[in-house]
Structure formats: C-alpha cells, structure tokens
Structure 1
C-alpha cells in the first residue's frame, strides 16, 4: 500500500506507525501488528496504532524514532520477530539458550518488541526467574549493545546498591571519598525503579547528570570521578528499556537486577565493584540466607565477565538517612559531607568506602578524608564540572512546601520501621518525578516515643498530592509504636 509519511508527535519514544482505520482495514493491520515501511531503497519496521483522527486516509504517521521516514512510502504487513517465541518459552518456564537471549536483547534494542511483549518478558522472569547460565548470557548480551567507556587507569572503582532501603544515598559520599583518595570512579547510575529516588535523581538536584561520553571523560579527567545518569550515554541501553517496563509493575526480579547492574558496570569500564545488598523485613532481600545466595550469584556472574566483585551484606530494616526523596536525600548527603547529617548515613558511607578502597588495594583512610573536609571539596569539584553550583550547601535545599507531620498516638517504643511502606508513601507524594516530594523520618527502631511525638513528615509539591499521600498514610503503619513489653515480644 502506497502512503504519504508524516511525523506525528504523540509523546512516545516507541516506533509507532499510525494508520487511519480505513487504510488499516484495507491492509489487514490490527493494533500492535508490525508493518514494514520501504522508501528510497531503505526499510524499517514499526508497531501499528489505528486511529480515526490523528492521520487521514492515505497518510501514515510515524513517531520520533522513525522520523527519518519521509515522502511516498510502501507499507506492508511484517511478521512477528522470532524473539516473541522466546518470550513465550520463558512464560512457560523453559530455560533460554544464549542465542535466544541475544535475540531478545537485539530486538529490544532495535525497538522490535511492543510494550506488551517487553512487559511479558519482564513478567516471565519475575514469575519463573533466570538460571545462573541465563543470567550470565543475558548480562553479556546486554553489555554487548551500546557504547563502552574505556579508561587508562588499571583500576576503575564502582559501587551499586540493589535498593529497597529508604534514604540509602551513600553513593555521592563514597564517590567523593574514593576519588579524593586517587582512585578513578566514574559512577553512572540509573534513575529510580521501585524507590523514591535513585542516585541520578538525587544528584540532579545539585547538577546536571546527562552527558556525552566525551563530556564524561572530561569530567573524570578533571575530578577523578563523576555522578551521571547512565541512560544519557547509551551504556547498556537495553537495561533502560527493561527498567521502563519494570516501573509500572514496581518489580525488579533478581535475574534482571544482576544483569542490569553488571551490564552497566561492564559498559562503564569498571574493574572493581562493591555491591551493597541490604536485607531484612521490608527490604528487597528479606533474609540473610537469601542475601548470601544473591552475593554468591553476583560474584559468579562477575567472575564470568572478568570483573572483580565484592558484596557487602548490610542491614536493611531501617532507613539509612532521614530524608526519602531526591531533594531530601541530597540535603542529607551534603550535611554528611559538611560534617553533620544522619549518623547512620555517615557510618554506612564510611564502611563501604573503606571496603572499596581496600578492595582496590589503596591505603587511605575514608574517615580522615571525610572529617578533614577533603571529600566535601572533591564533591564540590564534581558538582562544578557537571554544571552545578559548587557552593551549594545543605541549608540551600528546600523540599516541597506542602507538608504534614504524622505523630504518635501512644507512648512506647518504635518497634519496626517498614522501608517498603516509607518508599511507597514517598512515591505517592510525588517522588521521584517531583524532586521536592518525599518524607523526613524522625524515629528509628528502638527510639522511645511519647504520645504526640513526630514520627515522619510528608512533603509534596502540590496540595493534591499531599492529600493523596495523607489518605494513603491512613492505610499504613510505616513506623510501628508499641509498648515496651509488646516491643520485647516482637523482638523475640
């Protein structure tokens, strides 16, 4: 069928082909079918969206990924990519071969899978898991797509937390310490998947995070480190597509988690990586046994990829900082670097920094670097190199103006703090999309509480979102207060 191609902006990054219903019926094209478009000796494939209004009969609309298509084109039905059969196999809990996983990765990268098919793959992994062999093969396939960073340094340090703990923004503090110690640490991070703030979201509060590879190389050359968004430089780009499918479902299955982390690290040129695996009630990993098993799997996949992986198994039953959400976590980070801030965030940052320095064979004191103010100065130099204000202070960062404080209705002890509920509540308030949204946590496990004491404060950028979060909070108990006797029974 001959049609006239025109670019249509409908706010999507997917390669959609909009057909008027009349043309779609004549072609026999149904929603989510694929069509092949040929023009001037070139061909491409898109996914069908039928419409009565957006394009007229005789015209085919193409979205931004296909905006190179123009003029008089030939549109024909295309077959289903072979990788869809592989997705069906995974839905049936059949282990996939290397070539099948490579096919899925290639088709995700080339936008051949619809959102439904990509979500089916993510759901299949969530339901049925990945074997260790599948995880190795998927990680290698994902890191083989997109750009790669290469460094002159023989040791390139990196760190990642699997998440699941509110306020766990130790990475900016670690990067400042490790870079100041003379170790190259180009940190690329994802945006939040299931949490109220990823490292990239937090860093974006004080500086830019999207850079080209050349710009990242300049920043690292100037400062020995960086804190950037990995999706801005096409490092393991398939990971970003998978994360996009995980987001609406708020899932992060272990096999995809390992492939996501290690494919990004490999693409970033990292040689020595510390991975933080928090465990406990409300964390992503709930038991010490499961945390150890995950650590072993990370190490095995890392060995396969010739990366030196060291896992830190940490307690994840309490928030690390006091702020939950981009601005509030950035404020905690700066406060720690300034010599103040939440003690739990300071101690965990130091522990992991010491571990990474030792892992890299560097004889330096993380505590001395932090307490001397050298880490703060290094952080400020990274902020400046990334286009931010090097003089920014924690006091300069204000959360959303709409706020309310939840108070204890009884005296007792804070017997449990639920990270998952805190994160869900911060997201309901608008985080991470609204950078000023989130929570400030006033009590932690073991704290004595009087009736009327503050438990946590909700911040939002609009009244509507604050009210939505308040309504949601009525259904939750993220900080549980019990009498001393009841709290003792709970601990047993």
Structure 2
C-alpha cells in the first residue's frame, strides 16, 4: 500500500506507526501488528496503532524513532519478531537458551517489542524466575549491548545495594571514603525502581548526574570517582528499558535483578564489587536463607563474567538514616560527611566502605578517613566536578513545604518500623519525581514513647500530594507502637 508519511509526536520511544482505520482495514492490520515500511533510504519496521482522527486515509503517521522515514512509502504487513516466541516460552515456564535470551535483548534494544510484549517478558520472569544459567546468559547479553567504560587502573571499585530499605543512601558516603583512600570508583547508579529515591535521584539534588563518557572520564581523572546516572551514558541500555516496564508494577525479580546490576557494573568497567543485600521483614529479601541464596548467585554470575563480587548480608528490617526521599537522603549524606547525621547511616557506610577497601586490597581505615574530613573534602570535589555547589551544607537542604506530622495515639514501645510502608508513603507524597518530597522518621524500634510523640513527618511539594499521602497513612501503620506488656509478647 502506497502512503504519504507524516510525523507525529505522542511521547513514546516505541517505533509506532499510526494508520487510519480505513487503510488499516484494507491492509488487514490490527493493533500491535508490525508493518514493513519501504522508503527511499531503506526499510523500517513499525508497530501499528489504528486511529480515526490522528491521521487521514492515505497517510501514515510515524513517531519519533521513525522520523527519518519521509515521503511516499510502501507499507506491508510484517511478522512479529522472533523474540515474541521466546517470551511465550518463558510464560510457559520453559528455560531459555543463550541464543534466545540474546534475541530478546537485541529486540528490546532495537525497540522491536511493543510495550505489551515487553511487559509480558517482565511478567514471565517475575512469575517463573530465571535459572542460574539463564541469569548468566542474560547478564552477558545485556552487558554486550551499549557503551563500555575502561580504566587504566587494574582495580576499579564499585558497590550496589539491591534496595528495599528506606533511607539506605550509603553509596555517596562510600564513594567519598574509597576515592579519598586512592582507589578509582566511577559509580554509575540507577534511578529509583521500587524505592522513593535511587542514588542518582539523591545526587541530582546536589549536582548534575547526566554526562557523556568523555565527561565521566574527565571527572574520574580529576577526583578518582563520580556519582552519575548510568542511563545517561548508554551502559546496558536494555536494563533501562526493562526497568521502565518494571516500574509500574513495582517488581524486581531476583534473576533480572542480578542481570541488571552486574551488566551495568561490567559495562562500567568495575573489577571489584560489594553487593549489599538487606534482609528482614518489609525488606526486598525477607529471609536470611533467601539472602544467602541471592548472594551465592551474585557471586556465581560474577565469576562467570570474571568480576570479583563480594556480598554483605545486612539487616534490613529497620530504615537506615532519618530521611526517605531525594533531598532528605541527600541531607543525611552531607550530615554524616560533616561529622554528624544519623548513626545508623554512618555505621553502615563505614562497615561497607571497610569491606570494599579490604576487598580491593587497600590497607586503610574508613573511620579515619571520615573523621579526618578527607571524605567530605573529596565529596565536595566530586560535586564541583559534576557542576554542583561544593560549599553546600546539610542545613541548606529544605524538604517540601507542605507537611504533616503523625503522632503516637498511645504510650508504649516502638516494636516495628516498616520499610515498605514508609517507602509507599514517600512515593505517594511525590518522591522521587518531586525531589523535596518524602518522609522524616522520628522513632526507631525499641524506643519508649508517650502519647503525642512524633512518629514521622510527611513532606510534599503540593497540597494535593500531601492529602494523598495522608489518606494512605490513615490505612497504614508504618511505625507500630504497643504497650510494654504487648511488646514483650510480640518479641517472644
């Protein structure tokens, strides 16, 4: 069928083709079918969207990925990508071969899958899981797509937390300590998937996080490290597409998690990595057994990729730090580097930094580096190199002006602080998209309190979002208070 192209912008990264229903019926094209477009410079494939209004009969609308297609074109039906068959296999809980996973990764990278098909892939992995062999092959395939960083240093340090713990922003503190000790640590981080703030979201409060590879190399040459968004430099770009599909469902299945983390680390040129695996009630991993299994799988996949991986299994029942949300976590980070801040965040950062230093063969004390002010000085240099204000202090960071404090309606003992509920509340308040939204936690488990004591404060940037968070807070109990007698029974 001969049609005239017209460019349309409907805010999608998918190569959509808009056909008037008259032309679509004549062609026999249904929604989400593929069409082959022959144009002067070659051929392209698009995913069909039928419409009565956006394009007229005789025209074909092409979205941004296909804007290079112009003029009169020949449109014919095309078959679905081969990877769709493999997604169906995974939905049927059939283990996939390396070549099949490579095909899925390639088709995701080349935008050949519709949003529905990508969601089906994510759902299949969530429902049926990935075997260790599948995880190895998937990680290798994902790290083989996109750009790669390389460094002169034979030891390149890195760290990642699997998340699920409110306020667990130890990474900036660790980077400051480890780079001050002389190691190279070019930290590429993701934005939030299921949490109210990823490391990239937190750092964006303080400085720029999107850079080219050349700019990252310059920053690392100057400071030994960086704290940047990995998606900005096309490192394992398929991971970013998969995360986009996972986000609405707030899912992060173990096999895909390992592939996500280690493909990014391999692409970033990391050689020695510490993985933080928090476990406990309300954390992403709830049992010690599951945490150990995940740690073993991380190490096995790391060995397959020839990357030295060490895992720290940490308690994830209680939040780390006081703030939950980008600006509030950035405030906690600066406070710790300034010599104050939440003790829980300080202690965990020191423990993991010491572990990473030892893992990399460096004889240095994280505590000495922090208390001497070297870590703060190095962090300020990194902020400056990334376009931020190196003189910024923790007191300069203000949370959202719309706020309400939830108070105890009884006296007693705090028996539980629920990470998952606090994260849900922070997200409902607007985090991470609203950087100053989030939660300030006033109590920790085992605290003895009286009626009227503050439990937590919700911050939002708009009254509407504060109201939404308050409504959710009415249905939740993120900080549980029980009488002393009931608390004793609960502990038993």
- Whether TM-score is above 0.5 comes out as yes
- 2:79 aligns with 79
Equivalent positions of 1:6-405 (< 5 A) are: 6-405=6-405
Once the 2 structures are TM-superposed, how far is the Cα of residue 216 of structure 1 from its aligned partner? 0.5
User: 2-side partners of 1:258 and 1:407: how far apart?
Assistant: 39
User: 2-side partners of 1:57 and 1:386: how far apart?
Assistant: 50
Once the 2 structures are TM-superposed, how far is the Cα of residue 360 of structure 1 from its aligned partner? 0.2
User: 1-side partners of 2:396 and 2:112: how far apart?
Assistant: 46
User: 2-side partners of 1:319 and 1:241: how far apart?
Assistant: 29
- 1:414 aligns with 414
SS of the equivalent of 1:222 reads helix
SS of the equivalent of 1:179 reads helix
Deviations 1:286-338 (CA, angstroms, capped at 9, x unpaired): 11111111100100000000000000000001100100000100110011111
Deviations 1:421-454 (CA, angstroms, capped at 9, x unpaired): 0001110111111111110000011111110000
User: 2-side partners of 1:20 and 1:196: how far apart?
Assistant: 41
SS of the equivalent of 2:475 reads coil
User: 2-side partners of 1:396 and 1:57: how far apart?
Assistant: 58
User: 1-side partners of 2:298 and 2:9: how far apart?
Assistant: 41
Q: Structure 2 unaligned runs (5+)?
A: none
Once the 2 structures are TM-superposed, how far is the Cα of residue 41 of structure 1 from its aligned partner? 3.9
CA RMSD of aligned residues (A): 0.8
Number of residue-to-residue matches in the alignment: 492
User: 1-side partners of 2:393 and 2:54: how far apart?
Assistant: 49
Q: Structure 1 unaligned runs (5+)?
A: none
Once the 2 structures are TM-superposed, how far is the Cα of residue 68 of structure 1 from its aligned partner? 1.4
Once the 2 structures are TM-superposed, how far is the Cα of residue 256 of structure 1 from its aligned partner? 0.4
User: 2-side partners of 1:423 and 1:46: how far apart?
Assistant: 38
User: 2-side partners of 1:338 and 1:367: how far apart?
Assistant: 13
Once the 2 structures are TM-superposed, how far is the Cα of residue 21 of structure 1 from its aligned partner? 1.6
User: 2-side partners of 1:205 and 1:325: how far apart?
Assistant: 10
TM-score (normalizing by structure 2): 0.99
SS of the equivalent of 1:474 reads helix
TM-score (normalizing by structure 1): 0.99
SS of the equivalent of 2:60 reads strand
Deviations 1:85-115 (CA, angstroms, capped at 9, x unpaired): 1001111111101111001001000101111
Once the 2 structures are TM-superposed, how far is the Cα of residue 6 of structure 1 from its aligned partner? 2.2
User: 2-side partners of 1:242 and 1:326: how far apart?
Assistant: 23
